[in-house]
Structure 1
């Protein structure tokens, strides 16, 4: 497996300054949304990150994510945004919508707890903020760690195969975390795990081919349907 160039990070940073500025702008918007959400009702973030200050947590993970892209992931073919490819990534929106529909059908069948979603309109602030952090914690950071480790261990194996193995490994993290957090009947557990796994694989494919920002947007689509829209209507439909 080829060794990443030591100068790759600095060169990419200089060549993609505008893209990095877009990332930082998104981070600032996310922090603004998190600030309003946190001081409106601190319990929203407490459900997911405990006593951690969300502004500090998002700031640290956000800046770490930028550094990881600049000095690590670019050398493996991952970037914040690949030139001219954002609109092409939208062709996968229908697949993301399908995953959200499956999640809704599971809820319709077994009726998950009433408080699984942040209530509307607070959800409009909370989910775009937490989605950004989720992408970094479940995808960017573990993927960088897996790729760096694999690059040292599997030096003589085709780089694409090693990258695919790392993607598959990272895709397992969120669905496993999700089912450990909640209680599901066995059938719903299997469907939920597979659905989130396929969603993560789709996201990581989008990440590899189009960049971090399209991957983040795909989660915004998923959250908009599953957590925000369905989170609003399910209260009248199921309860």
Structure 2
């Protein structure tokens, strides 16, 4: 292990396997004999913070996988050599999130601030009480110069009520009217039977490590959970700018 670091959330041994194509484009290679059998699909890999382990972005979030493909670690690696611990895993994942978000820009429902200073992307669910509260306070975020950009994340999976509502939202001609109606727990007449990106948004969120909503992606790629008040959200954004 490099320097003084520690790992949180050890997941132990896993009979897991990478496809050769998933790891062939990076410097580190992982034994491809075994992960698909436990439902984990590798999207990309990169050299990790732990000697002998590759950092893998998957359809279930980020993991560290041993070079021989027999061990899987779930958790964050911190460098504790400075005054404050530095989350090396989150820093690496932040860059990955920003890159992956580029392909979803056209899918977002955007609420622009008139005097924009910051942009945040939020994975949202119409049936989530905290998401509803955040939406109702949209004016407070705009007052701080924060533009809100929504992606869909049905907490209960793609068979849930939230998924059906989110599909209806993204099928609607007026998406803002649809999402506002559902978040206000009002009826909205529309169809969910169209070609819509909700399933893709859901998989993107899972690969980011989203487990609940709202999940906010900051301008620097860090992810923070919950309906943060506007002032606290600005503080989190500025924290990233100062690092």
TM-score using structure 1 length: 0.26
Higher strand share: 2
Greater helix proportion:
1
Q: Which has more radius of gyration?
A: 2
**Greater RCO, CA 8 A, separation 6+:** 1
